[in-house]
């Protein structure tokens, strides 16, 4: 058997971040943090933005469900952010067309839950009314430009239509300064005077077709409509605050309105209509939350090896033995893939799912942002004689094809054999402590080229 030639990992040309830590744990133990995750539809999901940042930045665990790898999805349009960057705005900016898509999605959800067209129209009309934006009002005096000039954000562009509240008596009693502060606070806390959803109604109307308006917003699933999920008040309020950055409730919509330049005469009025663009603050009727999705191997490694993750099913945290049992039911070959994952993680590699290349794992040095994957790994559990029921029996043809696919992607194919002692019982395999007796044998597959071999021999 020829000796393997180890090639150094290929570093990526453009690296836009710095390396923090291989694991989301503190060596000194001062800032040790236990993150929380939950099992939903046989997937391990992390919701808390702080936990997401902790797990991904330190070890590159998981991936964003709406992003390619790093959870950095944003509904904001980059071109609009660049256009309005002088307005000191810290809210997402989207086009009017994109906002209408979200209104249509909210309509379809409402219809699926049995609302009639009248109720759907009234709910969305109240929910998507324009809101005041105190931040833009404060900057209004600082920006003065011609209304017919479209080269940059003008005073009219940043002006928002005034929103009359449903409780004018209370608002009129306030001073202008307190009214501005109270308005901003009320918009975020859901005051009936400023929140178009919390419209005062009689008891008979609440018991009628619009009774469900009080619970139109489901913070857990990101829809306008209450989806029927049951969760405690503390958990809901906590998730609302933590998920606000990932799925903002308020957005700025760029809308157009027609206006005339004051120096134009009436004869050419229609020809000189200028479309002014402005930002209107509205509530997002269809919020999409981005979570961090962990593979079963990553989740169990964080719980078992590092002890920095607690996984909940419902309201109860699962023990290590229970997780080992549940993950084996969800994924029959979980024992094999996790042993390989645990082994390579302990060696300093960053294993990721290798489904894209038809393998079990992809091995990265430091992490995907810094290096390309070096190896595609196939894991097999065998006995002392390298025999057993293989998960993926490979013929010479399939092995050659898999190797060619791996080589074309500038990677190497590695066969990882997990050697199980012959006297190990199934009872021992029912706990993760069985890994103490498992041995690992690595085998790198390379294509033998006869012409290349002859030329090397001639040189010798």
Q: Give the active site residues.
A: 364, 372, 411
The tokens describing 218, both together, are 């489901």
* Nearest by Cα to 47 from 318, 298, 295, 247: 247
The tokens describing 253, both together, are 């919509």
* Nearest by Cα to 155 from 264, 260, 278, 256: 278
Q: Answer for the pair 341, 361: CB distance below 8 angstroms, yes or no.
A: yes
User: Is residue 83 exposed (0-12), middle (13-18) or buried (19+ Cβ within 10 Å)?
Assistant: middle
Alpha helices by DSSP H, listed for 382-422, are 396-408
Residue 135 backbone dihedrals phi, psi, to 5 degrees: -60, -40
DSSP H helix total and E strand total for the chain: 15, 14
First CA to last CA distance, the chain: 19
The C-alpha angle with vertex 377 and arms to 372 and 382, in degrees rounded to 5, equals: 165
* Nearest by Cα to 70 from 61, 79, 78, 81: 61
The C-alpha angle with vertex 458 and arms to 452 and 460, in degrees rounded to 5, equals: 105
Q: Answer for the pair 66, 288: CB distance below 8 angstroms, yes or no.
A: yes
């Amino acid at each position: 058997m020829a000796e393997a030639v180890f090639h150094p990992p290929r570093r990526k040309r453009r690296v836009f971040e710095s390396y923090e830590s291989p694991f989301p744990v503190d060596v000194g133990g001062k800032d040790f943090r236990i993150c929380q995750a939950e099992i939903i539809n046989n997937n391990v999901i992390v919701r808390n933005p702080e936990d997401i940042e902790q797990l991904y930045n330190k070890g590159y665990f998981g991936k964003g469900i709406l992003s390619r790898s790093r959870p950095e999805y944003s509904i904001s349009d980059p071109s609009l952010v660049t256009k309005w960057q002088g307005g000191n705005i810290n809210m997402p900016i989207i086009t009017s067309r994109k906002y209408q898509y979200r209104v249509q999605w909210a309509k379809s959800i409402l219809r699926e839950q049995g609302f009639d067209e009248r109720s759907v129209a009234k709910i969305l009309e109240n929910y998507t009314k324009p809101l005041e934006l105190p931040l833009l009002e404060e900057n209004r005096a600082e920006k003065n430009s011609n209304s017919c000039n479209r080269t940059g954000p003008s005073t009219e562009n940043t002006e928002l239509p005034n929103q009359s509240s449903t409780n004018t008596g209370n608002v009129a009693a306030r001073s202008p300064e307190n009214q501005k502060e109270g308005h901003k606070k009320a918009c975020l806390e859901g005051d009936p005077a400023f929140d178009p959803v919390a419209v005062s109604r009689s008891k008979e109307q609440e018991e009628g077709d619009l009774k469900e308006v009080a619970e139109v917003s489901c913070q857990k699933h990101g829809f306008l409509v209450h989806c029927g999920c049951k969760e405690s008040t503390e958990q809901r309020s906590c998730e609302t605050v933590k998920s606000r950055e990932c799925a903002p409730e308020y957005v700025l919509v760029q809308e157009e309105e027609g206006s005339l330049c004051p120096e134009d005469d009436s004869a050419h009025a229609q020809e000189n209509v200028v479309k002014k663009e402005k930002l209107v603050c509205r509530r997002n009727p269809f919020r999409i939350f981005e979570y961090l999705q962990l593979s079963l191997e990553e989740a169990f490694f964080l719980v078992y090896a590092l002890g920095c993750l607690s996984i909940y099913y419902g309201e109860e945290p699962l023990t290590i033995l229970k997780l080992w049992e549940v993950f084996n039911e969800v994924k029959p070959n979980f024992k094999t893939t996790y042993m390989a994952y645990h082994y390579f993680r302990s060696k300093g590699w960053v294993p990721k799912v290798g489904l894209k290349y038809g393998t079990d794992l992809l091995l990265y040095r430091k992490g995907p942002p810094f290096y390309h994957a070096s190896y595609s790994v196939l894991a097999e559990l065998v006995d002392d004689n390298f025999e057993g029921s293989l998960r993926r029996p490979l013929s010479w043809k399939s092995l050659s094809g898999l190797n060619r696919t791996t080589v074309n992607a500038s990677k190497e194919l590695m066969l990882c054999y997990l050697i199980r002692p012959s006297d190990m019982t199934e009872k021992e395999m029912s706990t993760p402590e069985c890994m103490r007796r498992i041995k690992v044998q690595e085998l790198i597959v390379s294509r033998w080229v006869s012409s290349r071999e002859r030329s090397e021999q001639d040189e010798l």
